Amino acid sequence: QVQLVESGGGLVQPGGSLRLSCAVNGNRWTILSAVWYRQRPESERAMVAAITSQGATNYADSMRGRSTISRHGNNNTVSLQMSSLKPEDSAVYLCNAGVLVGGRIQYYWGQGTQVTVSS
């Protein structure tokens, strides 16, 4: 069964950096595209960064210049490198990825990882 496993969240001071990862379990499947979202309490889920199957990337205005989304590890992992973090970046970060399964693209969500930016 396909699962996305997220890691890399935690507590970081303002101005710090974090690298979030979203990995598909096993070596049988490939992540073709992915979107990182974040959700703050009492707020709607918002797109942070996206990468297409061709490698094109897009970022929310609030994260452009402070984050980089990339696909690596034989295309079974998508990472989000974030820097110059601010308290308002605190949220649960979730990965949604299009995974090639049996010749078809199916979309899955990770479980989320908490990012807290605080001194």
Tens digit of pLDDT for each residue in 95-115? 999 999 888 999 999 999 999
pLDDT of 27 over the 90 cut: no
17: pLDDT confidence band, cut at 50, 70 and 90?
A: very high
18: pLDDT confidence band, cut at 50, 70 and 90?
A: very high
Both tokens of 45, joined, read: 């889920």
Could you report the per-residue pLDDT of 63-103, keeping only the tens digit for each?
A: 999 999 999 878 899 999 999 999 999 999 999 999 998 88
28: pLDDT confidence band, cut at 50, 70 and 90?
A: confident
Instruction: Check residues 72 and 19 and name the one with the higher pLDDT.
Output: 19
Could you report the per-residue pLDDT of 43-65, keeping only the tens digit for each?
A: 999 999 999 999 999 999 999 99
Which whole number is the average pLDDT over 6-15? Answer: 97
Q: Which of 83, 92, 70 is nearest to 6 (CA)?
A: 92
> Is residue 19 within 8 Å of 80, Cβ to Cβ?
yes
32: alpha, beta or left? (left if phi > 0; alpha if psi -120 to 50): alpha
Average pLDDT over the chain reads 95
